[in-house]
Amino acid sequence: MDCPNDHGPMRLKNVMRELLFRGKRLKFRAKHYVCPVCGIEADDLGLAAANQKTLSDEYRAAVGLLTGAEIIEGRKKLAWTQEDLSRAANVGIASVKRWETGQIQTKAMDDILRRALSGEAKCADPYTGNRALSLARIKLVLERFSGLLGRKLLKSPRDKMLYAAKYLWYADMLAFREAGQSMTGATYAALPHGPQLNNYSELVDLIKEADEDLAEPLKEYEVRIMTRIARTFASGQSVYRAAHNEEAYKSKKNGELIPYSDAERIKAV
Ligand SMILES: [Zn+2]
């Protein structure tokens, strides 16, 4: 690489950097091209990516998250491919790739990765989002959505949850994408009228009768996610249309279950 001030070729140098990153003061060794005449620094794309990765690993080590190198090492110890890890942790393979190359995982995802790499996560169910199905929580989430939308989502007596299930699906998928755990533990199937609670016809009445006071209270981030969904989809038609356009739904055959690993393909919210 040549100096932009016309001093000829620049030299690759290690530079110690100290900076404030996500509230942490970090010291790390960056690599830059440096002009021996004017001292200007520059990166090419490869260097910029490598420096970003070094910073990310430095940060993750400082706050007690697995670094990219540790994830790779843990996986290699088990002789796992990235796909093996994605299956054991019940996350998309794209996430595994991003974490290994420098994207910072959330604390919740870090716990899930550690469990998977320690072999504790034996039978991760790809269809419940790391939570046992709770009808009371489904009721609680739907009631909260009704409040946010200013209209009742569960209509008696013969509601098929045509729209309610779409709100639920987005809430579960986005919670999983963000925190590694669904809100309700519900399993979804791709039906002609969109993503729907699996076996919904048997569940609807049970959900209506469920006591939402028995459900685990909603966490702050869950309410935040629901608020975002309610703002994005004010009408039942809009959530219905958006759900139909999601690859996570479109890529499935009729009746096929939609795994939570598809959460990272959600586009509309
Ligand atoms: Zn120069």
pLDDT band (50, 70, 90) for residue 87: confident
% residues pLDDT > 70 (the chain): 96
| Mean pLDDT on 115-135 | 77
What are 193-250's pLDDT values in tens digits? 999 999 888 888 889 889 999 899 999 999 999 999 999 999 999 999 999 999 999 9
pLDDT band (50, 70, 90) for residue 92: confident
| Mean pLDDT on 147-162 | 85
Cis omega before residue 157 (within 30°)?
A: yes
| Mean pLDDT on 81-96 | 88
What's the CA-to-centroid distance between 42 and ligand 1, angstroms? Answer: 10
| pLDDT at position 120 | 63
| pLDDT at position 167 | 97
- Better-scored residue on pLDDT, 7 or 131: 7
| Mean pLDDT on 239-263 | 95
| pLDDT at position 156 | 67
| Mean pLDDT on 148-173 | 89
**Which residues are within 8 A (CB) of 172 and not within 5 positions of it... i.e. 6 or more apart?**
129, 182, 183, 184, 186, 188, 260
Task: Tell me how far apart the alpha carbons of residues 159 and 174 are, in angstroms, rounded to a whole number.
Answer: 24
What's the CA-to-centroid distance between 18 and ligand 1, angstroms? Answer: 23
What's the CA-to-centroid distance between 19 and ligand 1, angstroms? Answer: 24
| Mean pLDDT on 3-10 | 95
Contact predicate 192/239, CB 8 Å: no
| pLDDT at position 121 | 54
- Better-scored residue on pLDDT, 121 or 264: 264
pLDDT at 10 over 50: yes
DSSP secondary structure of 220-240:
HHHHHHHHHHHHH--SHHHHH
What's the CA-to-centroid distance between 49 and ligand 1, angstroms? Answer: 23
Q: Report the sign of the C-alpha dihedral through residues 238, 254, 257, 110, in that order.
A: negative
Neighbour-count burial of 72, counting CB atoms closer than 10 A to its CB (0-12 exposed, 13-18 middle, 19+ buried): middle
% residues pLDDT > 90 (the chain): 71
What's the CA-to-centroid distance between 13 and ligand 1, angstroms? Answer: 14
Q: Which two tokens stand for residue 206?
A: 């049970």
pLDDT band (50, 70, 90) for residue 118: confident
| pLDDT at position 123 | 47
What's the CA-to-centroid distance between 37 and ligand 1, angstroms? Answer: 5
pLDDT at 158 over 90: no
pLDDT at 259 over 60: yes
What's the CA-to-centroid distance between 56 and ligand 1, angstroms? Answer: 29
What's the CA-to-centroid distance between 17 and ligand 1, angstroms? Answer: 20
What are 24-77's pLDDT values in tens digits? 999 999 999 999 999 999 999 999 999 999 999 999 999 999 999 999 999 988
Q: Which two tokens stand for residue 235?
A: 């009408």
What's the CA-to-centroid distance between 35 and ligand 1, angstroms? Answer: 5
Neighbours of ion ligand 1 (CB under 5 A): 3, 5, 7, 35, 37-38
What's the CA-to-centroid distance between 33 and ligand 1, angstroms? Answer: 10
What's the CA-to-centroid distance between 3 and ligand 1, angstroms? Answer: 5
What's the CA-to-centroid distance between 44 and ligand 1, angstroms? Answer: 16
**pTM of the predicted model, to two decimals?**
0.63
